[in-house]
Amino acid sequence: MSQAHEASLTEHGGHGDDHAHDHHPFHQHHFATMEQQFDASKIGMWLFLATEILLFGGLFVGFGIMQSKHSAAFIAGHHHLDWQMGALNTCFLLISSFTMVMAVWAASNNRNGNKQGILVTNLLLTLGFAGGFMVVKYFEYSHKIHDGLLPGKFFHYTGPDLVPNMFVFFSFYFMMTGLHGFHVLGGMGAITYLIIRSLKGDYTSDYFTPVDLIGLYWHLVDLIWIYLFPLLYLIS
Amino acid sequence: MADVIASPAVHTADHGHHADYLSDPEHKGIWSWMNTVDHKRLGVMYLWCVLAAFFVGGLFALLVRLELMHPGEDFMNAEQYNQAFTLHGAIMVFLFIIPSIPAALGNFILPLMLGAKDVAFPRLNLASFWVYVTGAIMAVTSIVVGGVDTGWTFYTPYSTSTGGAVTMMTMSVFVLGFSSIFTGINFVATVHKLRAPGMGWFQLPLFVWGIYATAIIQVLATPVLGITMVLLVMERAFNIGIFDAQIGGDPVLFQHFFWFYSHPAVYIMILPGMAIISEIIPTFSRRTIFGYRLIALSSVAIALIGFLVWGHHMFTSGESALAASIFSFLTFLVAIPSGIKVFNWIATMYKASISLDTPMLYATSFLLLFGIGGLTGIFLGALSVDIHLHDTYFVVAHFHYVMMGGTVIAFLGGLHYWWPKMFGRMYNESVGKIACGLVFIGFNMTFLTQFFMGSQGMPRRYYTYLDQFQPLHQFSTFGSWVLGAGLMIAAVNLMGALRGPKNAPANPWGGTTLEWQTQSPPITHNFVGQPSIEHNPYDYRNFKVPSDAV
Ligand code: HEM
Ligand SMILES: [Cu+2]
């Protein structure tokens, strides 16, 4: 009749005998089990990804509407983007997604440290490709800045193919790739954190939630780029 | 009866009285509050903040009403008047009403109702609070450094060309959005994963259903507001060419972006209010709630259909006739789930033995006021009528009947309902009722008049008006004083109770949901042991009302 299951009393330090498995160092006290904790975190991450999609979604809708309004300017603008660099970056991110999958696989199968090496190597590779992406972006941006192909009132390009409202294209180009770039930088920070904790041996098949979640985030960052690339570089 | 819930008296006798979350010797001092991850303490801190915002927003409201005593300039010129109503609206919407019920009461009550020890992500909860404080500081700064005169809707092209601290204010809205998203993510995950053993989806208290539906909207709509605010700031700062027609942008696009968030946001405001009403009515009617599933699912229906009606704010902005007709139709549709709820509440009360304590008095006020607010929404959703009523005081009256008459009244009812649980103290019941009566009368004096003025053509957002409107405007201003007095009395009554002894029983109203199964105020870990569910909520046939209930 009472509501209390005495076995799970925690206030009195009275842990039941079958609670040994509850003592994983990363188990938070308000979750009954590690699985519950993992599932909750995963829901949280998916919701966060949904907010990211909607955030970028606003920019995509704005881009679409402005493109239909100023289609000539958008086509002229896109000729200034280097599709080869864009394609290279697409490859970087695709490969990094693969290495991230490998890292998650290694972490989830890491028993007694037997996949430790694979985990750390793949995280380092992911970080490397992300860095490569940013380097390429740096060169692309420098080139645009040099030509005066800048957003809004900073636009001062004067070449022969200048079309009215071309600055709108570059406003969107910089906002969309810029916001995406910040997400790549954020991802690099998160992956660095994963590397440090992996080196400490924190991630095993019993507990690899952060690797799994940041992996999901990283795939989303890649996915958004997969949409950005054709939208910005390949329009006709 | 085998599965009667243990009455709280028995329960506490079993385990003795524990230190509560307010006086826990392990968590003492200001720092233990500042970095607490306890959902109850965060709920309480949120509560003080939203009440402060309500107070400041209320002062601006009284100023606005005072200026409207006479036509022409009394003590504010057009410029200052624009700032006063903008700050009133922005503070009330972004700092008070959106966080009010979910982040303050929801934070406190939702995990208790689920029988959980905390929300799923306690540190995210703490982050949400401090992000809110940051956003609030930014909003206050924007008032100090230059003021904002765009209206809370920040419509372009005015907002991209006017002076003042529009950039600071919109960035504050952006930051506050994150706080709202964090709360939403937390609540969805909590409801999915931290329900007590035996608590299926249809054993959830209806408050949880309402907050859950709200959380979904918070997660899915707020990012769009975020990006809209960013685009607005970009347009102001760098002329990126999206909203400013002079450089090839489209100002109506801003309205679409804004209302894609802000119409769902009106459901962020009302669903939690409805959620509170769904708790108060069965408790004070001592009745199993009528149509439990319909009430639960109508929250979700509102949340989903609410995403499809934003165009009804642009009937007069040059929308195509086809789009306008579709939006009008969907607007009528979204009113149906609200109607379903109202009828279910009334059916619950029908022939019940109702005790009219303060929370129930607020709940009955809600039924009437929300009824008026919702029905006038239908008027506005009708295309031909809206052409006449758009941007008049009729709209002002409509949204005050839903936001103040609905949400704020429900919030006050909820405060009076859970105050004994949150702080362990009973307030003075007669004073509570008097305050509620004054609020009800003052509110109707203030806003009923505005329906008449609006239908006669009094436009909103003007500091002056034609002489013919003066009697109604003055009556409305007098009403605002009655309303203010009622609110002050309620505040003094509640705050005054905090100085008294902790005299509240665990379950003063005879409520059936789990938060009443722990002591008042609850212990830091909420429950002694893990509570589980043996019957549905509001099942008064299997529930023994404790002897110390009022
Ligand atoms: C029964 C459901 C409702 C319907 C059918 C409805 C319909 C409408 C319509 C058509 C308008 C636009 C009027 C105009 O500007 O010409 C409007 C305005 C508004 N409604 Fe509602 N509404 C409903 C419920 C609510 C609720 C629950 C809230 C808030 C809690 C709310 C808050 C507002 C606000 C704030 C505005 C004015 C926005 C502004 O221009 O500043 N409405 N409503
Ligand atoms: Cu609306």
Is A78 among the domain residues? Answer: yes
Number of structural domains in chain A: 1
Task: Judge whether A43 lies within some domain.
Answer: yes
Asked if the structure places residue A7 within a domain, the reply is no
Q: Is residue A20 part of a domain?
A: no
Does A8 reside within a domain? no
Query: What is the spatial distance between Cα A126 and Cα A38, in angstroms, rounded to a whole number?
Result: 23
Token code pair at residue A215? 């992996």
CB contact under 8 A, B248 and A171: no
DSSP state of B191: H
DSSP output for A97-111: HHHHHHHHHHHHT-S
Tokens 């957002």 belong to: B461
Please say if the pLDDT value at position B14 is more than 60: no
Which of A28, A41, A65 is opposite residue B250, by nearest beta carbon? A65
Contact B11 A65 (CB under 8 A): no
Distances in whole angstroms, Cα of residue A92 to Cα of each of A134, A142, B69, B252, B418: 10, 20, 67, 39, 55
Q: Which residues of chain B are within 8 Å of residue A1 when distances are taken between CB atoms?
A: 2-4, 6
Contact A70 B181 (CB under 8 A): no
Predicted pLDDT of residue B12: 42
**pLDDT number for residue B15:** 47
Residue A9 lies in a domain: no
How far away, in angstroms, is B274 Cα from ligand 1 center?
16
Distance B218 CA to ligand 2 centre (A): 16
Instruction: Record the tokens describing residue B196, joined without a space.
Output: 């007590």
Which residue's CA is the closest to the ligand 1 atom numbered 43? B377
Distance CA A95, CA A126 (A): 8
pLDDT per residue as tens, chain A (236 positions):
233 333 333 333 333 334 444 578 888 888 988 999 999 999 999 999 999 999 999 999 999 999 999 999 999 999 999 999 999 999 999 999 999 999 999 999 999 889 999 999 999 999 999 999 999 999 999 999 999 999 999 999 988 889 999 999 999 999 999 999 999 999 999 999 999 999 999 999 999 999 999 999 999 999 999 999 999 998 87
- Mapped onto helix, strand or coil, the DSSP state of residue B20 is strand
**Tens of pLDDT, residues B234-251:** 999 999 999 999 998 999
Which CATH number goes with the domain that contains A184? Answer: 1.20.120.80
Structural domain including A205 reads: 30-233
Contact A58 B122 (CB under 8 A): no
| pLDDT reported for residue B140 | 93
Query: Which is it for the CA torsion A148, A150, A152, A158, positive or negative?
Result: positive
pLDDT tens-digit series, residues B423-464: 999 999 999 999 999 999 999 999 999 999 999 999 999 999
Beta bridge pairs of residue B526: B523
Q: Which of B122, B194, B234 sits opposite A175 (nearest CB)?
A: B234
Q: Which two tokens stand for residue B446?
A: 């203030």
SS (H, E, C) A18-43: HHHHHHCCCCCCCCCCHHHHHHHHHH
Average pLDDT over all residues of chain B: 93
Nearest ligand, CA B410: 1
Report the distance separating Cα B379 and Cα B390, nearest Å. Answer: 11
Contact B240 A59 (CB under 8 A): no
**Does the residue A13 lie in any domain?**
no
User: A43, B228: Cβ pair inside 8 Å?
Assistant: no
> What's residue A9's pLDDT?
36
Cβ burial B526-546 (10 Å sphere, 16+ → b, else e) = bbbbbbebeebbbbbeebeeb
- For residue A183, the chain B residues in CB contact (below 8 A) are none
pLDDT tens readout for residues B183-192: 999 999 999 9
Q: Residues B186, B119: contact at Cβ < 8 Å? A: yes
Distance B260 CA to ligand 2 centre (A): 9
Q: A126, exposed or middle or buried, with CB in 10 Å at 0-12, 13-18, 19+?
A: buried
Instruction: Specify the DSSP element, H or E, that contains B383.
Output: helix B383-389
Instruction: State which residues have CB under 5 angstroms from ligand 2, the bound ion.
Output: B 263
**Identity of the residue in A32, A55, A65 whose CB atom sits nearest the CB atom of B223:** A55
From the alpha carbon of B151, which atom of ligand 1 is closest? 41
Looking at domain B39-517, does it have CATH number 1.20.210.10?
A: yes
**Residues of A with Cβ-Cβ distance to B11 under 8 angstroms:** 2-4
Ligand 2: centre distance to CA B87 (Å): 21
pLDDT score of B532: 80
* Average pLDDT for B137-153: 93
Q: Which two tokens stand for residue B413?
A: 């009812």
For chains A and B, what is the number of CB pairs under 8 angstroms?
Answer: 151
**ipTM beyond 0.90?**
yes
- Taking a C-beta distance cutoff of 8 angstroms, is the pair B338, B374 a contact? yes
